[in-house]
Amino acid sequence: MAATDLVLAFTGASGAPYGVRLLEVLLAAGRSVHLVISPAAIQVAAQELERAVRLDQFRPQDLLGSELVERLGSKLAGLHYHHFQDFSAGIASGSFLTGGMIVCPCSMGTVAAIAHGLSQNLVHRAADVHLKERRQLVLVPRETPLGLVQLRNLTACAEAGAVILPAMPAFYTKPRALSDMIDFVVGRICDQVGVEHCLLRRWSESSS
């Protein structure tokens, strides 16, 4: 256990490609990642990635694909999966040290649960732990438009200490492919949790 361990949660908002790419980048950077996936996130992965992930019999290749698993090689040892109902997992306690938590993508239902302290599953509980321990919590919502209820819940999370980082790609980087837009968002998330990367061209940097 080290304070550089990161918690990553996938929930039931559109944006599964962001989460998978983020997981890849974190593992490639040598970080230990504690992964939690909600049931709704499984449905999103099936729709957006055409991948069948089983919560009770999780296999990295089902989520990441065999090619990426092979490419990550020994780095995959840094992946620690926790069932969303397993409150005995270390990340359910503040005594388990981490370097931060990211919920990507973050559904509005998850935002509501975090905003009101409803620890109904391990995602909610781990997020609650990060807030009470004053650790970095990054929420990556992908929802539009936002209603008053969602805005108030997001505000409550921000007031409690969370970073609200909507999945909003920039265009000043002149993206040439969808992967460029995904990498921009993933790069900005990495900035928040102190993971070095070369995923995006920063403002004022030369495009040549």
What would the pLDDT profile of 124-183 be if each residue is shown by its tens digit? Answer: 999 999 999 999 999 999 999 999 999 999 999 999 999 999 999 999 999 999 999 999
Q: Over the chain, what is the mean pLDDT? A: 96
Give the pLDDT mean for 201-207.
76
pLDDT at 98: 97
C-alpha distances out from residue 84 to 3, 25, 126, 141, 148, Å: 22, 22, 10, 19, 29
Tokens for 56, please give them.
Answer: 């009770």
Could you give the CA distance from residue 195 to residue 144 in angstroms, rounded to a whole number?
Answer: 28
CB neighbours of 195 closer than 8 A, spacing ≥ 6? 6, 25, 26, 29, 31
Q: Return the pLDDT at 201.
A: 85
| Rounded Cα gap, residues 125 and 145, in angstroms | 27
pLDDT at 64 over 70: yes
pLDDT band at 69 (very low <50, low <70, confident <90, very high): very high
pLDDT of residue 206: 61
pTM exceeds cut of 0.85: yes
Say yes or no to pLDDT of 207 above 70.
no
| 166-199 pLDDT, tens digit each | 999 999 999 999 999 999 999 999 999 999 999 9
